[in-house]
Amino acid sequence: MIVYKLLEKYDELFGLKRTFKENLEKSRILKLLYFFYIIVVIWFVVSLLNTKWVQSIISLILILAFIFISQLLSERSLKKRYKSIYAYHKAKQEIFRKFIEEECGLSEDSHQDVLLKVIDNEIEQYKLTKEMPLKNIATQFITALIITGLLTTSFGLLKDGNGEQAVLLLTLYILLIGITIIIGGAIYTIRGFTKQAKLAELKTVIFHIRLNKLVKEKIFEGE
């Protein structure tokens, strides 16, 4: 199918592995950042095991900082390679314009209309098969269990003089927060490389290709 060919082309030129590799090759700071990120994650685990909560919280703050800084550095690396974000998107549009019109033979508007409908169907199918039912309710329940359950119980135990049990629950609470931040950071980093995100971007690219074509036709008619 043409949609899968488009996804293969996207992964080949703009996929997660290619982007990650190019960012590391172009930025020494990013290499150091990932190295220190691993060190800080280890520091978080060691601090937590030794019930050093202040150090654990500091390490979590550093992990959050690393996540956002790495995104800024990735964008900076992208600007260096393409001179600007606009040039990056323009290059992407030209690559896919040639691929769609020349290699796939979909140069007519009617052909591209069908392609857009197929992409829409793929996005809907992805949502149906990948998204968890009652996701928001489950998330709210887990959040309430962690915050209200563990935290309230641990302080209650501490108040009653059960220090060891309270420390255990507080350690578990901070551990769950840390795991959430680390997993959330990973999801935040790769959010633009999921199948749904790639299909949505390809759809946007096709719209821009058609818009540019329309603008050129209007300019030509004006002359």
50 three-class SS: coil
**What is the predicted pLDDT for the residue at 136?**
62
Q: Would you say residue 223 has pLDDT above 60? A: no
**What is the predicted pLDDT for the residue at 141?**
67
Please state which of the ranges 18-22, 75-79, 81-85, 149-153 shows the lowest mean pLDDT.
Answer: 149-153
For residue 130, which of 122, 119, 138 has the smallest C-alpha distance? 122
> How many angstroms from the chain centroid is the CA of residue 153?
35
Q: pLDDT tens, 92-140?
A: 888 888 888 888 888 888 888 888 999 999 888 887 776 665 566 666 6
**What is the predicted pLDDT for the residue at 39?**
92
**What is the predicted pLDDT for the residue at 79?**
79
pTM over cut 0.75: no
- As a whole number, mean pLDDT of residues 148-169 equals 74
- H-type alpha helices, the chain: 2-14, 16-26, 28-49, 53-82, 85-98, 109-130, 135-144, 152-159, 163-190, 195-222
Q: For a pLDDT cut of 70, what percent of the chain falls above it?
A: 88
